[in-house]
Amino acid sequence: MYTVEMRPDSLATSVPTGPSFDLLLVAHVASAFIGFGVVAITGIQAFRARVGFAALTPGLRRYFRPGTNWLGRVVFLVPVLGAALVLDSGGTFGFGDTFVVAGIVLWAASAVLAEIVLWPGERHIQALVSGEPLADPGELERSCRRASLAAAAITAMFVAAVVLMVTRP
């Protein structure tokens, strides 16, 4: 059950409310900020680690310890919860709305970049930091640069998506 509330702006855009919509919205926003926040932090840590083994602090070594960064995978909840929001909006929002389509496209591009560049790069950095022998001394620096650039691009797409979701053009 939901109600439609009119916003007091010149566009008079209706905004669905109600317990289920509100909970889904909180979960959608939280999953986006957690998942994409961890992606941004991974990029920052990779940028810091690019200087080489001699400069790796215990904190960087701990961050890049082997294992899956599950908090970063929370980004996969974002479109699921977004779809649930559209379905629970009572027709106020639709899958053909510009901001919804753009959000899906930005999320898909982010997910592909994370799967193809960021997370494999993170696993490679983890292997190098945990003692895998280096074939090339510049290998860590290149892996860190690639991961940090991918994270920066993903973060930029996230910011663009947030702007779209808030402004709903």
17 torsion bin: left (phi>0), alpha (psi -120 to 50), beta (else)? beta
Q: End-to-end alpha-carbon separation of the chain, Å?
A: 26
**pLDDT tens-place string over residues 83-139:** 999 999 999 999 999 999 999 999 999 999 999 999 999 999 999 888 766 667 688
Of 19-28, 32-41, 131-140, 156-165, which gets the smallest average pLDDT?
131-140
Total number of domains constituting the chain: 1
Q: For 156, list phi and psi in degrees, rounded to 5.
A: -65, -40
Q: How far is CA 145 from CA 46, 54, 90, 161, in A?
A: 7, 17, 45, 24
Spatial CA neighbour of 81 closest among 148, 35, 131, 15: 35
CATH of the domain at 94: 1.20.1420
Residues spanned by the domain of 105: 3-167
For residue 79, is pLDDT > 90? yes
Spatial CA neighbour of 85 closest among 31, 139, 49: 31
